Structure 1
Amino acid sequence: MRKAITLLGFLLVAASLSAAAGEVRNLRVWASPDSTRAVLDLDQRVDYRLFTLDNPSRVVIDIDDVDLDRVLELDEEHSGVIRRVRHGVREGHDLRVVLDLEGTVRPQSFLLAPAGEYGHRLVVDLYPEDGQTAEQRVREAVQSAQGGERDMIVAIDAGHGGEDPGAIGPSGTYEKTVALALARELKEQIDAEPGMRSVLIRTGDYYIPLEERYARAREARADLFLSIHADAFRDRRVRGSSVYVLSRRGASSEAAKWLARSENRSDLVGGVKLDRDDDVLSSVLLDLSQNVAMEYSTEAAEAILGQLARVGKQHRERVERANFVVLRSPDVPSVLVEVGFISNPHDEANLNSGTHRSQVAEAIVNGVRRHFFETAPQGTWIAANREGSRHIVERGDTLGVIAQKYRTSVSRIRQANNIDGDVIHPGAVLVIPAGS
């Protein structure tokens, strides 16, 4: 009887130990121009060790007391510097994962607590030793124009990315996907504008911490930072575009507060090691230089909002304010544009339309152009070409009214701007012929 009890006790202890073992459930890899991120999905917090080996280059991850019931597969499309993934049991109860690499890297690793749709995660970021840094890449993308008259720089930030899909529409559309598609369309249109140049903060499907996004805009010496989103609201009937600037006091509406809270959680979902508590993270140095930036932000936001009214329903007819982390640059005017609510089926369908995205991008560019032609400093191409030789079309303008204002003829304005008919759109910049 005693032997039976002892055996039963042994089996219970063994079962308990087995149940306590963790599990690696999946491997996901995201590649950016600056680094490659490998994410191991776990069912609980684990203890691990990481080290590198040379000839050939590889990263080894030893995880204590975990099981693996599937092969860790590598998606070659997003594999970055990782050539192959191997794994095996170590010392009977631990797991060893080996990442075979294209070259030497600097690894950084950390554990993440559950957030959003994800559970516990072990994150390994791989930075190539000979790779170009984000700062170098951004600088090269925005080299000043020749001739002493620089371009006005617009930093375009596609919200979310990688681990963080953002909001998800009723038919499964990811906010990160439409935000990047619209950002690319914006870049193409801005780069076609005389005196303007753009840089994409996020160029692919990967995550960038919120503070690093506006830091890259500062590195680019951007004149304007645009953060592009298509968020969700708990009421799926809510739809339409809206424009936001930073608030230092409080949100201008309940929806603005809700959206800011949702967006500011992106670092937890996207995977950022936060070494400071939330109170410290939330206290940014908002000095006098930021007061000036906030004034410019409001002016730019109003110009953009006025143009967005031409391409669909607006959620708010005024510029909204909320404490978005991504808008906290101390010296770069920053605007967050919600191009629609992806939680609304009608908006989701629009955002999946290339034609609609092109129209939205055109409206934003018209607003940015209008803002720059009013605020561009000396030394820029726009400042050198705006006085007395350019006219920004306003609502109610006609070619006849403009010709009368500048004491010229309609035909001369048509010829200078390659206009065939009489249709002109608000926000467009018309060349006024010399000698008028």
Structure 2
Amino acid sequence: MLWCCCWLYSEKSLSAAPENEIAGTNVMPEARAQTWNWHFQNTFYLQGDPGFPAEYSGPNSLHSGGEIQDTISADLFLGARLWHGAEMHVDGLLWQGFGLSGTLGVEGFPNGEAFRLGTSVPNVTFARIFLRQTFGLGGEQETVEDDALHLAGRQDVSRITLTVGKMSVKDIFDNNTYANDPRTQFMNWGLMANEAWDYPADSIGFQTGMAIELNQPRWTVRYGFFQMPRVSNGMAQDTHYLEAWGMVGEFERRYTLAEHPGAVRLLGFLNSAHMGSYEEAVENTVRPADIIATREYRYKAGVGLNLEQEIVKNVGVFSRLGWSDGRNEAWVFSDVDHAATLGVSIKGAFWARPQDTVGLGGVLNGIASKHREFFGQGGTGILAGDGKLTYGLEKILEIYYDFQVWKTLHGTFDYQFVSNPAFNRDRGPVSVLAARVHWEL
């Protein structure tokens, strides 16, 4: 087994080696670009809270008595170049463990690796199987680095990219340099994505669909069309393909400010799924409020803003703002209708630890008026449902320190303070402590 891993590693390194270093350049022509690659990652979380005050609890509440949970994930990524401009990528995922309280009770959930589909024994699936076809439009070229979802090579800066298959919608949309990956950066859901965007996904975060991108030197426009689950946050897909779908569009503008890179991304989405209506559930005399009885094919729409800016070398700030209409049932990601985040990321070069990172981020989450009434009448959502509700904005502060242990082995210590968990002023505040170990090949 060890010999096989060493052989694969040597083959991968050779296939990714620079092909032309004349005059200090690092050029990899298409004809000699990387033909295949493999990558591996393993991430372990240990997370807990010591307990907190709570006037009452409901079916979807965070346990107030304190608890410790762990999660583990492992991915084997394989990529192959099929023909000119075409790549196939496959991701085999293993996962095990549970989020706090079964991943319930906090909207900005503190573990970005915790799936709603928790398991006490290892589960495996093909998380990603997709084809990416890139059509070059000529002109200047840029280098593509070897990573888990890309083959090293060269491509036109001006290009059209088509991606089809099963993937994470977040592979393409709502990216941010400083707050994006819960395996290496912030752990909180609200800092890895825009929580007001109910983005298409199954219970473990992946979905089938397609995306098309037009890239230019200073800007990119993207559009995606994806399937939706048959039930809220479920695994099975809804086969009413003309009625159950999620569309998303994004415009990204890149720029420099005093020679420091930055980007602004404007996102809009429209979902159609077999959702319930909060207003109808509240008007119905059934208590606790029952959203299931009101389900039919309905729409949910929203917008998001994503900002990042390098301030000085090794220091960057970021923010996300999100809004959705809040009329119909949250279907996939979280119950949040309105979201705002702000934070800073600092690399350890300032203290002679260039591979280390310290991050500080804040999250504000809220919901629309009918959504509040629904929870106040005992309704339950994807993450929230305390039986009652004294409404308040959910407020979260996260600080983490990620440090290099050895080459691609990193450890992280993390602290999160949650006020008004699941929008409820009668519960909390909660302090959440975590340790993370992440390893890559």
How would you bin the TM-score normalised by the shorter chain?
under 0.3
> TM-score, normalising length from structure 1?
0.28
> TM-score, normalising length from structure 2?
0.27
More helix by share: 1
Max Rg structure: 1
More strand by share: 2
